[in-house]
Structure 1
Amino acid sequence: MDKKDLRIVFMGTPDFAVASLRVLVENNYNVVGVITMPDKPSGRGHKIQHSAVKQYALEQNLPILQPEKLKNENFIEELKTLRADLQIVVAFRMLPEVIWDMPRLGTFNLHASLLPQYRGAAPINWAIINGEKETGATTFFLTHEIDTGKIIAQERIPIGESDNVGKIHDELMNMGAKLVQKTVDLLLEDKVDAIPQEQFFNNEADLKSAPKIFKETCRIDWNKPVEQIYNHIRGLSPYPVAWTELYTIGEEPIAAKIYSANKIQTEGQLPVGSISTDNKTYLQIACMGGAIEVKEIQLPGKKAMKIDELLRGYKFQEGSYFK
């Protein structure tokens, strides 16, 4: 079958998904429809905001469906009229079987990890938080259990010592888009030999998960070793950002977001959470086995600032500490 005859329906919402859709459109694959989240109000003026995928689909004059509920009968009937041979899912929602089982070639998903490791909503964050030295992207066929279907193709990238989520997200987004194209080509050429994920591990207990990240997940525990805290900070930067509370004598504690930091490993041990600063150029926070040197921080009512910029207008009081 020629790629112009293969009818593709694409499902996705954020920027991460746009790269994959763009590769398909720019290489003349036959995208007959785009499914994305409903528009929602955003910002102070509550202006209606399109998803990144919808914005790109509008620019390319692609048919768009935005179901509130994926099991809605009208939506299912509309989807059927697109007569998809193949559905591709990138950063979307969990699909019911009636949807993923519809096309004759099935539905495949691009996941930002080396499956079966890091199944779940936040694979890039958790790989960095856990100090992994590499990650990657996987295409796999959808099935009943989330992120468990047969693997079609996989690519790897290294995670550098100072890489954060923003950098790895962008690398995986671009590499993943090429992997989506490669997967479509394998399907077109009837060269897919999908492998059950069970062949990649002996014991399910060895698998690391990537659950959704909540506010409390982002809180820094200064009692942890310096390496873990450093990975925690870069694994949440630039979003949703690690945070902690600053305690100053006689004042209410305030929340501080730490966007970037260095780690300092030392033998000596100051009290956990205690502050070392010249109130001009540096801020260090003691933890197990060393200290975290803050490079970029945000205090309430201020924008995120490099530490020397913050210290021009804000001074840490003696006896202040983070907790």
Structure 2
Amino acid sequence: MNQSYVILTESSSDLTPELAEQAGAEVLPLSFTMEGKNYPHYPDQRAMSIPEFYERMRNGAVAVTAAANVAELTDGMEVHLRQGKDVLFLCFSSGLSSTRDACAIAARELQEKYPERKIYTVDTLAASAGQALLVLLAGRKQKAGASIEEARDFVEETKLHVAHWFTVDDLTYLKRGGRVSPTAAAVGTMLNIKPVLHVDDEGHLIPMEKVRGRKAALAALVKQMRETVVHPEEQTMMISHACCREEAESLRESVLAEFHPKELMTLDLGPIIGAHTGPGLMALFFLAEHR
């Protein structure tokens, strides 16, 4: 393992403590506010558990997120720079948050203070388990001996092949965030319309199609994988869900039966993304010809 550098990311990646350890990465917390109180989200869910977060949402609580604090990012990087380590920071998509800008500001300031150290930030253009997948793969490169530049370049070359496909069960949260209009949300709810969305090459959340019913929406995720996946039997893939574990297990069985991936992990969607999608999200993440 190349121990000359450390990989950092934020909790928008939804990495569990076990996966962070497997990747050899450190996860800096992003925060959300609910019912007037601010909560930093750590992989071990110490401030608020993910089930409690979604239960509160179901009971009407509104969660709001904010970009990372530059000072906190600076502190998170500097502790490693002081120890003589270089830093590779894999950032939350700039198409979904200004966190990447805060990260870049922190890196520039630290580079002046530590000119002998290497500090690289990469806009993953990814979120949730898509971001987690890039961190995990980069960590495996590091463990195989890759230099910090080789790991950085690998992420840059791979990120636009990380497909994010997902659906939500309740349009209320997308309406609140301006992703769908109030009229579309009302009509969609009445007709049981479920949107199928993805994250595009600019890292933005884009609605791609509308289907009727949850079962059809989940089938649409598998269809998208079928059309674009490359060498599934060699891949690590991920499923992400927001408190709908039984459906996640069913989706997992479908993916295993059809695509036989080398590895298929199931992650809980954390509050940083879940604040905008609500409970009931289901998502597939995999390497594809294109996003």
The structure whose residues are more often helix, as a share, is 2
- When normalised by structure 2's length, the TM-score is 0.35
Query: TM-score, normalised to structure 1's length?
Result: 0.32
Q: Which has the larger radius of gyration?
A: 1
Larger RCO (CA within 8 A; separation ≥ 6): 2
